[in-house]
Amino acid sequence: MLTNCKKNIKIPTLIVWGRNDPVIPASIGAKPNSDIPNSKLKILNNCGHVPHKELPKETYNIMLDIIR
């Protein structure tokens, strides 16, 4: 059911993932990226499960690049 929903997302979507995520491996990020049209996957090195808290400046800069 959720997979079908992803294909219906029409707006640009940013997926930010930590390469060292101990909860959900970074390799899993490729699936939603391929399922969501107009999405971009950014994987942050030296980062775990919470990129916006672990690497806030890097996450912010990625968001700014996408917005611009």
Is residue 49 part of the annotated active site? The answer reads yes
How would you class 2 by CB atoms within 10 Å of its CB: exposed for 0-12, middle for 13-18, buried for 19 or more?
Answer: exposed
User: Helix H segments across 1-68?
Assistant: 2-7, 30-35, 51-54, 56-67
Set 31, 49, 52, 53: catalytic member: 49
The catalytic residue positions are 49
